[in-house]
Amino acid sequence: MAAVAERETEALVAVSSPSGDAAAAEQIVAVASALAPAGARIERLPCSTPEHAPDLLISVDGPGELKILLVGHLDTVVGHEAFFAPRRSGHHLVGPGTADMKGGVALALGALRAIEDRPELGEAALLLVNDEEWRSGAFAHTARFADCDACLCFEAGERSEAGDDGVVVRRKAAGTLKLIAHGRASHSGSAPEQGVSALLALAEAAQLVASLSDPQGPDRLTAVPTILRSGEAINIVPGSGELVCDLRADNLAALEAIEAAIPDQIAGAGIELVRERAWPGMDAREPTAPLLATASELLGRPIVASERGGASDASHFAADIEITIDGLGPCGENSHHPDEYIELDSLFARSEVVLALLDGLLAGVSG
């Protein structure tokens, strides 16, 4: 499984597939479909984001009862202009999308092959979406898979401080909040007093948002202004602008409290709030504990439950599928950068973790 995943990761990374490029998405979907088990069903599902290529669903059926959902995404952050063909550097495979998350997609394909002939299996479905990196609207697929017994997501893997294999069972809720300032433009040299600076209003708003961050508080809230755009010329008081903030917390209610704390007017400029993204949190620590214990025993070494601040599609399924485990991909670094890489040596250990979890799930059904 690890040897095949190494080759298939390289094949997937060789296709540049930045989020939002429908033609590139069709190319990577074609590669992923060609790597599917020979007897699998191939379906295309409407993407959650308009004008994106349809998502890909690869399914295999069995005579049993267990229904397993495997989740990944094919889109990447790095654009075509920064893309380069994957290359090997020592024990690393370097290239855009290796860790986030084409290495994980390769392991998910291996997992599908590993269980397609197991008699306990009723259905195993691998959902690969094309908009995970850019999606701002509602997720389209939760209802279809709500009756699955388990969800395994293949975002990048990690290790504990002691060097043990870690999997993600807890994630923060994530929100993107845009503040649009409506001021009044004027000549900055002859009549600055006639203007209302949207730039100064947004600068004050950025300070306000940052002051509400409370990472050590009960909701572990982080509120971080990340993008500020305002101004059109060197001699004009900016009459409009926008501020984008990244919000994270254990629950969406904490993010809504940030919105409530922002006044309708700052420094004379009107402030309009636009929620561009709201992804739920995930806390599967309790329901997954027995499975992690069983898989650790089967594997002969610990599989450690961990948490992560970054958002993932696993969070969308966790509310309906109690046994949701993420972070099953290979270990790597530098996600969202052209020099992203996976550790090729980690493919074997992560394959063992995935297979141990699958064996634990199947053993639970067979009794």
Same domain? 157 vs 306: yes
Mean local confidence (pLDDT), 170-195: 96
Q: Any idea what the CATH number is for the domain that residue 183 is in?
A: 3.30.70.360
CATH number at residue 88: 3.40.630.10
Region of residue 93 (left: phi > 0; alpha: psi -120 to 50; beta: else):
beta
40 shares its domain with 185: no
The alpha carbon of residue 159 and the mean position of all alpha carbons in its chain are separated, in whole angstroms, by 19
Count the residues in the chain: 367
Q: Is 54 exposed, middle or buried (0-12, 13-18, 19+ CB in 10 A)?
A: middle
Question: Do residues 138 and 349 touch, judged by C-beta distance below 8 A?
Answer: no
Chain center to CA of 209: 24
- The rounded Cα 193 to chain-centroid distance in angstroms is 46
282: preceding bond cis by omega (within 30 degrees): no
Q: Same domain for 10 and 151?
A: yes
Give the span between the Cα atoms of 139 and 304, in whole angstroms. Answer: 29
Instruction: Express each pLDDT in 197-245 by its tens digit.
Output: 999 999 999 999 999 999 999 999 999 999 999 999 999 999 999 999 9
- 133 with 92, same domain? yes
Q: Which of 278, 312, 345 is the last residue of a domain?
A: 278
Do 168 and 179 belong together in one domain?
no
pLDDT-derived band at 194, boundaries 50, 70, 90:
very high
DSSP string computed for 284-304: -HHHHHHHHHHHHHHHTS-EE
Q: Say yes or no: 106 and 179 in one domain.
A: no
- How does residue 367 score in pLDDT terms, banded at 50, 70 and 90? very low
- Greatest pairwise CA separation for the chain in angstroms: 82
Higher pLDDT, 364 or 314: 314
What percent of the chain is modeled with pLDDT above 70? Answer: 99
The pLDDT assigned to 350 comes to 98
Q: How confident is the model at residue 366 (pLDDT cuts 50, 70, 90)?
A: very low
Residue 74, CA distances (Å) to 70, 293, 334 in order: 13, 31, 17
Domain identity same for 8 and 126: yes
Residue 41 has pLDDT above 90, yes or no: yes
The mean pLDDT of the chain is 96
d(CA 220, CA 291): 27
Domain that holds residue 17: 2-172+281-366
Same-domain check for residues 183 and 301: no
The whole-angstrom separation of Cα 31 and Cα 254 is 41
**What average pLDDT score do residues 319-339 get?**
95
DSSP state of 54: P
pLDDT tens track for 61-111? 999 999 999 999 999 999 999 999 999 999 999 999 999 999 999 999 999
Q: Give the model confidence (pLDDT) of 235-289 as tens digits.
A: 999 999 999 999 999 999 999 999 999 999 999 999 999 998 899 999 999 999 9
Q: In this structure, are 24 and 76 located in the same domain?
A: yes
Domain total of the chain: 2
Residues 313 and 274 in one domain: no
Q: Do residues 181 and 251 both lie within one domain?
A: yes
User: Which of 278, 299, 319 is the endpoint of a domain?
Assistant: 278
- The residue among 278, 299, 322 that closes a domain is 278
Please check whether residues 259 and 362 belong to one and the same domain: no
